[in-house]
């Protein structure tokens, strides 16, 4: 870059004009030749601030628009299109089981064959392995955590039928007793972590609004749900959670901030006995009843969208996963128990071409 000569208007002539002829200065190259801005490429635009580029951007934000000069087309970033694919089958077919973890490092435990069971299995993204059993038979438990730090909360047993307040902690190898909930219940939904868990609603003769929070040692009362519900599903963290469905065929969704619950955007299809995965800005729900469904809905932080169905419609299934782009569905009832596992994957965006009718 060269020097820039700048004239200064330093006085006013008698005719009222500014005089800039007898004083000038030169700005040194070092003041303006910033190497960081040499060789900068500035994209042209296709009008209205839309950038023109030779190739699609590698990581756009959903909603971004651009003009591709190679294909001569306007394009935009739409939500990624996902799909369920078959994973490895559980070793024990079951329903009313619980799950936690991620798509490639999941855990399921308990449930029902014809009676409540203690079986625990771990998933590595390909196959399930039987590991140490729960200390007691359980079904209809809430769950939270990861494959190596999982939490089982409350639940029921079928022999004899009774509601439980016990929680159990898994360390990747063994289960140990955790603190007991204040209210015994089954059909509870859980989320969070092993040391910051959340148990929502449930049933002990009637649907409950009771919520309890776990600190890794003991349970204390949290803010009550607005709508009593059982066989709902929950995802997120102890201080940032969603509770979805349950209580018959409700599409009611509530959001928790660590203190109180607020009704938020309803999902599209009301259902109970469903499963979920993710966090409150990126969640997914799937399966459920009535009738037994394969429907899957994705939550992007502001709205629910129907996406690809499960290959196998089912209810009373377990879910695991970190977001609306990566989830796992395992077991459930068709009717009749199943060992089927399905893996959900969806890219964060899909580059789509703008077309006219």
What does the pLDDT read at residue 25? 53
**Residue 136, token pair as written in the block:** 């007691």
- Alpha carbons 154 and 164: distance in angstroms, whole number: 5
| pLDDT tens sequence across 9-45 | 555 555 655 555 554 555 555 554 544 444 444 444 5
What is the average pLDDT score of the chain? Answer: 88
DSSP state of 15: T
Contact 308, 84 (CB under 8 A): yes
DSSP state of 37: G
* Residues 6+ away with beta carbon under 8 Å from 14: none
Q: How far, CA to CA in Å, does 10 sit from each of 13, 23, 67, 70, 198?
A: 10, 7, 48, 52, 73
Greater model confidence, 33 or 333: 333
What mean pLDDT is predicted for residues 114-135?
Answer: 98
Structural domain boundaries in the chain: 4-78, 83-347
Greater model confidence, 57 or 265: 265
Contact 278, 324 (CB under 8 A): yes
Task: Quickly count: other Cβ atoms within 10 Å of residue 19's Cβ.
Answer: 14
Q: What is the pTM of this model?
A: 0.79
What does the pLDDT read at residue 111? 98
Work out the angle at residue 209's Cα, subtended by the Cα atoms of residues 294 and 183, and round it to the nearest 5 degrees. Answer: 105
Greater model confidence, 42 or 325: 325
Q: Where are the alpha helices (DSSP H) in the chain?
A: 29-32
What does the pLDDT read at residue 259? 98
| DSSP states of 254-295 | EEE-SS-EEEEPPPSS--BS-EEEEETTEEEEE--BTTT---
Contact 192, 150 (CB under 8 A): no
What mean pLDDT is predicted for residues 220-232?
Answer: 97
Pairing of strands 211-214, 219-221: antiparallel
| pLDDT tens sequence across 265-287 | 999 999 999 999 999 999 999 99
What does the pLDDT read at residue 65? 87
| pLDDT tens sequence across 76-109 | 776 667 999 999 999 999 999 999 999 999 999 9
With a cut of 60, say whether residue 64 has pLDDT above it. Answer: yes
With a cut of 80, say whether residue 115 has pLDDT above it. Answer: yes
Greater model confidence, 22 or 318: 318
CATH of domain 83-347: 2.120.10.80
Residue 129 parent element (H or E): strand 128-131
Query: Cα–chain-centroid distance for residue 34?
Result: 45
What mean pLDDT is predicted for residues 214-230?
Answer: 98
What does the pLDDT read at residue 194? 98
Least Cα distance to 180 among 147, 224, 136 occurs for 136
Q: What percent of the chain has pLDDT over 70?
A: 84
**Residue 47, token pair as written in the block:** 């009008």
Q: Which residue has the tokens 């709508």?
A: 227
What does the pLDDT read at residue 47? 58
Least Cα distance to 87 among 272, 318, 304, 283 occurs for 318
What does the pLDDT read at residue 248? 80
What mean pLDDT is predicted for residues 54-63?
Answer: 77
Residue 23 parent element (H or E): none
In this structure, the dihedral spanned by the alpha carbons of residues 183, 186, 187 and 191, taken in order and rounded to 10 degrees, is: 50
What mean pLDDT is predicted for residues 305-334?
Answer: 97
């Amino acid at each position: 870059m060269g020097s820039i000569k700048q004239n200064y208007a330093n006085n006013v002539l008698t005719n009222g004009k500014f005089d800039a002829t007898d004083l000038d200065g030169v700005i040194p190259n070092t003041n303006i030749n910033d190497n960081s801005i040499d060789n900068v490429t500035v994209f042209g635009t296709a009008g209205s601030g839309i950038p023109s580029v030779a190739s699609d951007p590698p990581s756009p934000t959903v909603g971004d628009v651009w003009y591709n000069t190679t294909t001569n087309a306007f394009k935009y970033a739409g939500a990624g299109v996902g799909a369920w694919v078959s994973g490895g089958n559980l070793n024990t077919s079951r329903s009313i089981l619980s799950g936690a973890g991620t798509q490639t490092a999941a855990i399921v435990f308990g449930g029902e064959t014809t009676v409540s069971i203690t079986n625990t299995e771990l998933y590595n993204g390909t196959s399930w392995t039987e590991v140490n059993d729960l200390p007691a038979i359980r079904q209809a438990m809430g769950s939270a955590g990861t494959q190596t730090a999982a939490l089982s909360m409350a639940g029921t047993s079928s022999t004899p039928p009774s509601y439980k307040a016990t929680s159990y902690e898994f360390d990747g190898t063994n289960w140990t007793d955790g603190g007991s909930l204040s209210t015994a219940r089954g059909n509870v939904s859980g989320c969070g972590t092993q040391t910051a868990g959340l148990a929502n609603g449930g049933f002990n003769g009637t649907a409950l609004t009771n919520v309890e929070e776990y600190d890794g040692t003991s349970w204390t009362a949290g803010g009550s749900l607005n709508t009593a519900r059982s066989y709902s599903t929950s995802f997120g963290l102890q201080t940032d959670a969603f509770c979805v469905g349950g209580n018959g065929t409700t599409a009611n969704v509530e959001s928790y901030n660590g203190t109180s619950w607020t009704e938020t955007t309803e999902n599209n299809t009301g259902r109970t006995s469903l499963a979920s995965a993710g966090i409150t800005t990126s969640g997914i729900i799937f399966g459920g009843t009535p009738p037994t469904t394969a429907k899957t809905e994705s939550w992007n932080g502001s709205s629910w969208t129907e996406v690809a169905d499960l290959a196998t419609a089912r209810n009373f299934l377990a879910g695991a996963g970190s977001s609306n782009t990566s989830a796992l569905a395992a077991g459930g009832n068709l009717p009749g128990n199943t060992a089927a596992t399905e893996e959900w994957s969806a890219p964060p965006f899909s580059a789509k071409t703008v077309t006219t009718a």
